[in-house]
Structure 1
Amino acid sequence: MLYESLLLLGVLSVTFMLPNILLGLAGNMTMPGWLLQLHLLSVLLIYFVWFWLHGGQTLAMKTWRIRLESTITGKTVVLPQALLRFALCGPSVLFFGAGLVWAIFDRERQFLHDRLAGTRLITLT
């Protein structure tokens, strides 16, 4: 999680820099708060969903040799599964990590958001 956060810091820095530079040059303007939040959510959504759909691994997941796959097909997830997993990850972590603690008690050691989205993390050999 920490490694993924460091990678995302770089991605977010670049994606926030360009619009802010352009707005600053256009007349010392700044983006409204709601637009900044929408921008942040959009960048995160595109980052995770893109990597999950194209090989099932983000950059950090490749390093740790973990892949996301569908529990239905055993192959790469489809768009609805990726979007649902993304939507459920936030609440899973924000509710005191309840969705992460779930994995301790789950017979297959899967997170709650993975169970609900029909996905699973597998370790590559």
Structure 2
Amino acid sequence: MQRRFTQLDDAWPAGLGRRLGGMMYDAFLVAAIWILIAILHLGFLRLVLGLAAEEVGDGSLQRLTLQLLLLVGAFLFFAFSWTRGGMTLGMQAWRLRVQTLDGRQITWAQSLVRYVVAWVSLATFGLGYAWVLFDSERRSWPDIVSGTRVVVLPKPAR
């Protein structure tokens, strides 16, 4: 069952600047995950399959499996974070949370839609995220297609 978040009345739609800030922080985390995946993939090819150093990277199957692992690794990072607490580490730093339109945690299916549409948004030179500047509710393409929204949380009381 989807948990309903608190602070719904105090949150407001996230603007482009905050979203980009959170994305930059998360890009460093995803890069670290990708480095780990590449090391494990290389270790598997060398140690388990016994390929020589010159053979690593030859053939489309090796490249395809690595690319697929990188995409799946990034998806698992985002989906796990979004479905658990609505925030990645980068989003926490910028006080951002992704939630359903009625203020609940998002599902794995919504996470998958957000993830796929996020790649499309980036592939169109960021137009999917720049859409926040033109949408009256400050929604990006991933928000619109997945039925979610990104909000800014108020500063915690001291």
Q: TM-score, normalised by structure 2?
A: 0.73
Of the three residues 130, 133, 136, the one matched with 1:104 is 133
Of the three residues 42, 53, 56, the one matched with 1:20 is 42
Q: TM-score, normalised by structure 1?
A: 0.91
Alignment of 1:1-125 (within 5 A): 1-25=23-47, 26-28=50-52, 29-30=55-56, 32-71=62-101, 73-125=102-154
* Identity across the alignment (%): 31
> Where does structure 1 lack aligned partners over 5 or more consecutive residues?
none
String of CA shifts for 1:15-69, please: whole Å, max 9, x gaps: 2212212322323253611111111111111111111111010111111110000
Query: How far off its partner does 1:89 sit?
Result: 0.6
Q: Determine the structure 1 residue equivalent to 2:8.
A: none
For 1:70 and 1:112, locate their aligned partners in 2 and report how far apart those are by CA, in whole Å.
Answer: 14
Tell me, yes or no, if the aligned pair for 2:33 and 2:74 is still in contact at 8 Å. Answer: no
For 1:108 and 1:83, locate their aligned partners in 2 and report how far apart those are by CA, in whole Å.
Answer: 22
The count of aligned residue pairs is: 124
C-alpha RMSD over aligned residues: 1.4
For 2:79 and 2:98, locate their aligned partners in 1 and report how far apart those are by CA, in whole Å.
Answer: 11
